[in-house]
Chain A
Amino acid sequence: MSDLPLIQADRAVPPPAATTSTGGRRRRLRLLSRTDRVVITLMVLVPLLLVTGFVWLPAVATVLLSGTNWDGIGPLNEIEFVGARNYSDVVNIYPPFVPAIQHNLLWLAALFVVATPFGMFLAVLLDKEIRGSRFYQTALYLPVVLSLALIGFVWQLLYSRDQGLINAVFGSNIDWYGDSNVNIWAVMVASGWRHVGYIMLLYLAGLKGVDPSLREAAAVDGASESRAFFRVVFPVLRPINIIVLVVTVIESLRAFDLVWVVNKGRNGLELISALVTQNVVGEASRIGFGSALATIMLVVSLVFITIYLATVMRENRE
């Protein structure tokens, strides 16, 4: 209730030309009845409590727990703070950590260097309003409607050692999901398959919003198509580029479902997200340790979320 004075009926009742002073605003605030103010408070408070309780407080708790030695079972008052020990343990004496970081970075690189540019390229081609564009688009973003867990199963039909199509066609004998030397590449292909469609869709939406006169001007100036794209269209797409960047980083950080359905993120498919999960629901529940891993994820993602929010908020204000 205390924050209510901050609410004011905005532009709905246009202020008389000269009274933009606080006095004028107070008067407009009084237009809201008592019930209205209660309703407004509830409309914000209920969802806010839900999001705070299920997302933000757990996020803070994760950071706090990462400094403790809690095993998850004992009472909360037995928690001991151990400083940065969990972090040094994670880095020094936890064998899957380094491979997981490598796999996460590899995942990011694959999505960023291969899948994202390819999706953008397809969007540019499809933006030319060619015949059959609808068919091409549908085919390309169809994987986006499938869950990543399901995609793991669908690709198993191609990857399986004894019954998979790839080995049958090429006469090879590779266990694409099981062999720890190749399985990370196999799941990244499946993940990229879905990512390309999503990126294509985002860029198609962005390209539709580009002012056509910009391109005409570039064409009049004699710029080649690729030159016009990189020098004129691409810079205009800046907000979309940032959204795509953030989506890609977050997707590769959150990657989980695929490796979990394949082998629970073990044997070549270690990812930070899978390690956190193993430490909580697995046999060994090491809360402080898992929280340190989770905090690393949290910090990285918050950096990119901030970039994202700054971009979209600036867009909205314009």
Chain B
Amino acid sequence: MSTATIARRTEGEPHAPQRRRKLTPLRLLLHGFLIVVSLAWLFPIAWAVLTSLRSYDYTAANGYVSFGGWTLDNYVTAWRTAEFGQHFLNSVYITVPAVLLTLFLASCVAFVIARFSWKLNIVLLGVFTAANLLPQQALLIPLFRLFTEVPLPEFMSDSELLYDSYWGLILVNVAFQCGFCVFVLSNYMKALPRDLYEAAMVDGASIWRQYWQVTMPLCRPALAALATLEVTWIYNEFFWATVLMRTGDKFPVTSSLNNLRGEFFTDNNLVSAGSVLVAIPTLVIFFILQRHFVRGLTLGASKG
């Protein structure tokens, strides 16, 4: 009970809770529990940020459970030795085309599924949706062989193969992510009013115009949510880049982490600075577009 009284004084009163329900001991317990869990959940990330801001010499001498040694040097060192600039660029080369292509191709399929009743619609939807759920490793063997067989002209890939090229990674990411977007977008498009197409047909609009000028603008909220989600997913993609890339300089930033591990091995302060650098783009997207991100994740799960 005494802890509850303290919690009431520190947490309950400053917020003037007139409009809200009264703070019963049960509600205090609830808040106490949620605060503890939330802080525990934030802790690993906070600890990484904290560690990244301290000098290795200081923490080596005083241990990590100490205070002081604040510095930004880890970031400078990590950025320089790990060539983060190049790896971030690689991520951009892969993520941006992959997301745009995924949304474009998926919206085409979704449009046809939603606009026409086609006997094979349900099969089509299943083919795309299930593809997104297959374990990637189960397809690795044939894909790996395929990638090492398909030649590309030298101006597209200096390996002259689909293997170890940005093109290969873009294609494999698009093929995998299409399913989720087809599923979400077709549900979304089915909810659009039918009269729109009726009016468009009367005006003599072609199918392409019905897709591009009628449907797509109306799907903007879903497209925004999906784009946010897909950017983080493709940026975070680790497996394909690890197995279908060979040249260290061409790795996107998420999978380059593993190569960098060796260089940072003995210096956790550098590891944490590197981790924070890699996390920053997704964290920025998350905090700016939080609404879209969350909506995207739940779009697939519920119809609302």
Contacts and interface: CB of A to CB of B under 8 A. Distances in A.
A44 B116 CA distance: 12
B105 A250 contact: no
B105 A146 contact: no
Nearest to A35: B206
A201 B294 contact: yes
A175 interface: no
Contact of B179 (A51, A146, A160): A51
A165 B65 contact: yes
Contacts of A55: 131, 134, 139, 175-176
B136 A313 contact: no
Given A158-B44, A298-B135, A257 B239 contact: yes
B109 A48 contact: yes
Contact of B125 (A54, A146, A169, A313): A313
A32 B35 CA distance: 59
Interface in B53-91: 59, 63-65
Nearest to B145: A72
A182 B165 CA distance: 38
B206 A294 contact: no
Contacts of B197: 12
Interface string A37-67: 0011001101110111111111101100100
Interface string A201-241: 11011101100000000000000000000000000000110
B48 A147 contact: no
A318 B142 CA distance: 39
Given A193-B44, A240-B301, A250 B133 contact: yes
Nearest to B108: A43
B142 A153 contact: no
B263 interface: no
Interface of B: 15, 17, 20, 27, 30-31, 33-35, 37-39, 41-42, 44-45, 47-48, 51, 59, 63-65, 105-106, 108-109, 111-112, 115-120, 122, 124-131, 133-146, 171-172, 174-176, 178-179, 182-183, 187, 190, 194, 197-198, 201, 206-208, 211, 232, 235-239, 242-243, 254-255, 257-258, 261, 268, 271-272, 274-275, 278-279, 282-283, 285-286, 290, 293-294, 297-298, 301-304
Interface of A: 3, 6-14, 31-33, 35-36, 39-40, 43-44, 46-48, 50-59, 61-62, 65, 72, 122, 125-126, 128, 130-132, 135-136, 138-150, 153-158, 160, 163-165, 168-169, 193, 196-198, 201-202, 204-206, 208-209, 239-240, 243, 246, 250, 253-254, 256-257, 260-261, 272-273, 276-277, 280-281, 287, 290-291, 294-295, 297-298, 301-302, 304-305, 308-309, 312-313, 315-316
27 contacts: A6-B119, A8-B116, A43-B109, A58-B143, A59-B139, A140-B38, A141-B294, A143-B41, A145-B283, A147-B282, A150-B254, A157-B51, A160-B268, A168-B63, A193-B44, A202-B297, A208-B304, A209-B303, A256-B238, A272-B137, A277-B140, A277-B243, A281-B243, A298-B134, A301-B138, A305-B134, A312-B129
